[in-house]
Amino acid sequence: MRQILIATHGKMASGIRYTLELVVGKMDVITTIDAYVNPEDDVEKMLEEYFSVHEEERIIAFTDLRGGSVNQKLMQYAARPGVTLITGMNLPVLLQVALAGEDVTDEDIDGYVRAAREELQVISVKPVEEVVPAGENAAAGQSESTGADLSAGPAPSAAQITALRVDDRLIHGQVAMTWTKQLRVDGIVVANDDAAGDPTQKMALQMAVPAGIRVLVKPVREAIRALNYPKASQMRILVLTRTVRDALEVRRNVGEIGFVNVGNVGRFDGIDISQKKVLTPTIMLTQDEIESLEELLKLSPDACMQQVPGDEQNLVRDVIGKLK
């Protein structure tokens, strides 16, 4: 079995594991060593015990500093068959390795390291041109000028959407690094009025996705028009909304949707929690949102609640039934 070891000075190892598991979910294959937190810590003994337990397994080890003592102590194990040592780690390379299969090779890991280096950038907060498929802006403009009636339902050419997810953070680590891979999408449509009207927020969302995935950030009604544009049917698309109400609007007005997922909602809307029903620690709904969710279930009865792909899928209908 593939094992991941993270060993660093201080508490960086346990801290980055906590962050990693927020994105990918809990992983039993990860072990952390916080070295030199206490004067009596015997790092050599910790490593000796770890490698004796996992002697026959594939081990990918991460350290913080190439010249640091933790990395030096791990060097003696790096020559063993099945052990790969990576130093100067960052979260992107950890994510790639954590999401890789059991048969990940050193060549694969070398590619992850090269890609992770590109993640270290100075961000210039300037408006950027929206990343959309060629010709899509023109098509969207044509749709807007026709004044299409969304209440009439989806157009005959409506897209086969891979997934519709309700997530109050829209594009973030869990979406960018796990859901895009799980669903094998090549395009994301963010349907949110506020994000579409805020150039800085729009730019941040566009920069959050891995290379090769196209992003369209539009007000809900314009997003629906884009999804009903014939070219959209040629792509595997993940649609993101911030509220259940917006998800219902999308669901009513586009074609078939393969997977409807309520991930995170209601935490940052400024409405006091006393006015909400708490379905899970990350799903908090007002009465209006609950009513929208009930309508959504009529169209997609198998909608589930799931933060990351590794979590258990809980059917929304089972939880909603308990609220009555």
Phi, psi values for residue 313, rounded to 5°: -85, 120
Helical (H) or strand (E) element with 205: helix 199-207
**CA of 268: how far to CAs of 16, 168, 194, in Å?**
24, 7, 13
6 close to 94: Cβ distance less than 8 angstroms = yes
| Alpha-carbon Rg for the chain in angstroms | 23
44 close to 71: Cβ distance less than 8 angstroms = no
Task: Check if 54 is active-site.
Answer: no
90 close to 116: Cβ distance less than 8 angstroms = yes
Other Cβ atoms less than 10 A from the Cβ of 204: the count is 16
CA distance 187 to 189: 7
Options 54, 172, 181, 236, the catalytic residue: 172
Helical (H) or strand (E) element with 7: strand 2-9
Torsion of the alpha carbons at 295, 297, 303 and 305, rounded to the nearest 10:
60
- Looking only at Cα atoms, what is the longest distance across the chain? 73
Alpha helical stretches, state H, 5-99: 12-24, 43-53, 69-78, 91-99
278 Cβ contact partners less than 8 Å away, ≥ 6 residues apart: 284
CA distance 306 to 316: 10
SS3 277: strand
Q: Which residues are catalytic?
A: 172
